[in-house]
Structure 1
Amino acid sequence: MSTHSPAEWAAFLSLGVSAWAVMAALLWLTVDAEPADFDPRPAARRAIESGRLDAVLIAVTNARHAAHAAAERARHIPRDTAITAAALLSLTIPTGDHR
């Protein structure tokens, strides 16, 4: 009784997958399909209306708002840096008599 190597098992699995792919392609070529059958919009609309994607839509919206807030904060970094630098420089200016 001989054992088979992992390479032989992988080759056999690859042969099976490729045979299945050829048969599926022939089936898809011979079946009469309308272009509307491949349109994902009705299925997406049904999924959104059912409420199954509410958590995903909320997460996307929150991520979008967080990105806008981060961009807004990044826009103010030069201004905040200039204000801080001016305040620190004003502390180093001599203010008059020190008797």
Structure 2
Amino acid sequence: AVFGAVGAYAAGCSLLYLTCDADLADFDPRPAVRRVVDAGRLDAVLVRVANARFDVRELAAETRLYAALSLRDTAITATALLALLVPAPSESVR
């Protein structure tokens, strides 16, 4: 219990000491992100993300085409199977 109380007190005090003289601008990540982007460190990541968007569109188009063609092939197969299984009407029905 003593160690838990000391740990909780230390955690609370560390947050207090870190933020007591802090400005709101100290917690703004935009300048750091801007420096990283301007330095060119994220260029490879940005290129991959842009290419991934086009790859996803291409995959979706191929999937739609495959679904349409497989549905057409299934309909043709079902029609041929029905033509084979349904008996032909006889000419003389009495």
Equivalent position to 2:17, from 4, 13, 27: 27
Larger Rg: 2
Matches within 5 A, 1:33-52: 33-34=23-24, 36-52=25-41
- Counterpart of 1:65 in structure 2: which amino acid? F
What's the CA shift string for 1:50-72, capped at 9, x where partnerless? Answer: 11111211222222222221112
In structure 2, stretches of 5+ residues that fail to align are: 84-94
| Structure 1: gaps spanning 5 or more residues | 1-11, 94-99
Change in Cα spacing, 1:31 to 1:56, as seen in structure 2 (3 Å) is: same
Please name the residue that 2:88 is paired with. none
- Matching residue of 1:76: 65
Q: Distance in 1 between matches of 2:16 and 2:36?
A: 31
How many residues end up aligned between the 2 structures?
A: 81
Shift of 1:83: 4.1
**TM-score by structure 1 length?**
0.55
Q: Scaled by the length of structure 2, what TM-score is found?
A: 0.57
Q: 1:74 to 1:46 in 2, by over 3 A?
A: same
Task: List structure 1 runs of 4+ shifted beyond 4 angstroms.
Answer: 14-20, 85-93
| Percent identity of equivalent pairs | 34
